[in-house]
Amino acid sequence: MKHFHYQSVSSTNEVAKDLLEFAPMIAVSADYQTHGRGRSSRVWSGESGANLYCSFGIKYENGNETEKILLLQAIAALAVKKSLIDCYGTDIFKLKWPNDIFALNKRNDYKKISGILIENGFQGDNPKYSIVGIGINVNQMNFNQDLSETAVSLALLGCQTDVSQLFNIVKYHFLEYYQLNNSEIFSQWEMALSLKNKRIKLVSTGKYCNFVKLLQDGRLLLTDPETNHEQIIDDNQSIRYEFD
């Protein structure tokens, strides 16, 4: 996998998309993003040089990689979690569906430490490329008012880490999980999410549902506890639930 590093970019996802013209699989990292993005058009921001901003780009040739594409959020989330454990030395990290990573801080609260953004390109029904964007709060000590109550970094957890070293660990684990068979990826993701018996709050309506099943395409099957009506939600919908 060819690696490109920049001091500053608009977003590593955008650069990775452009560079895929020259290689089938690439990695892009940057010290800073001027227009970093998260899911649902949210902004992903952070200090220059203090955090990991990177993207992995994959170009498809066969057109039959749909199942693997559906598992990219699992691959990335599992890779980030494993990388954070490698750096911190202890597993204090939880995956939140579909692909956010939270850490248990010193006040015994879970705060967000990493987010992932997947973007796919198609030609008709055939997949042409995927971009996997990853942001990890590494050495940032202060967050703006909007994030101060919800975000944490490795440094705030007492772990100073070299950002470039963390990138290499993430890249290693990303490729490690990408090479697993699809059923093993799904099984590990399902186990790491630990959604069984969870009470799920739908942010859009404020309504609570019960978790039934993680579907093979990554969506969630939920049921209304009052009516037993089933519904399926995808990663465009925000949810809340308590970690164990």
* Span 10-30, pLDDT tens digits: 999 999 999 998 889 999 999
pLDDT-based confidence at residue 49 (cuts at 50, 70, 90): confident
42 pLDDT exceeds 70? no
115 shares a domain with 30? yes
Q: Give pLDDT tens digits for 171-184.
A: 999 999 999 999 99
Q: What is the reported pLDDT for 36?
A: 58
Q: How does pLDDT run across 140-186, given as a tens digit for each residue? A: 998 877 777 889 999 999 998 999 999 999 999 999 999 999 999 99
If one counts the domains in the chain, the total is 2
At 86-132, the pLDDT tens digits run 999 999 999 999 989 999 988 889 999 999 999 999 888 888 999 99
CA angle 95, 101, 107 (to 5 degrees): 100
Range of the structural domain that residue 225 is part of:
199-240
Residue 39's pLDDT band, with cuts at 50, 70 and 90, is very low
Residues 187 and 219 in one domain: no
Residue 232, token pair as written in the block: 């399926």
Burial 170-205 (b: 16+ CB within 10 A, else e): bbebbeebbebeeeebbebbeebbebeebebbbeee
Residues 6 or more apart whose Cβ sits within 8 Å of residue 111: 102, 103, 105, 150, 151, 152
Q: How confident is the model at residue 41, as a pLDDT?
A: 45
- Mark whether 53 and 174 lie in a shared domain: yes
DSSP-assigned states of every residue in 90-132:
S--EEEETTTEEEEE-TTS-EEEEEEEEEEEEEETTEEEEEEE
Residue 72 token pair: 């990219």
Quick one: 61 and 85 in the same domain? yes
Residues 170 and 205 both lie in one domain:
no
- Predicted confidence at residue 65, as pLDDT, reads 73
Q: Are 230 and 181 in the same domain? A: no
Residue 116 pairs in a beta bridge with: 134
User: Which CATH number covers residue 37?
Assistant: 3.30.930.10
Do both 188 and 204 map to the same domain?
no
Tell me what the mean pLDDT of segment 190-202 comes to.
96
Question: 187 with 212, same domain?
Answer: no
Distance CA 146, CA 151 (A): 9
Output the pTM of the full model: 0.92
74 and 160 share a domain?
Answer: yes
* Residue 81: per-residue pLDDT: 98
Instruction: Clarify whether residues 115 and 32 are in a common domain.
Output: yes
Q: 120 and 12 in one domain?
A: yes
The reply to whether 213 and 160 lie within a common domain is no
Contact between 3 and 168 (Cβ < 8 Å): no
- Structural domain ending residue among the three candidates 193, 208, 232: 193
Identify how many contiguous H helices and E strands the chain contains and give both numbers. 5, 12
Query: For the chain, what is the mean pLDDT?
Result: 91
Q: What is the pLDDT of residue 48?
A: 78
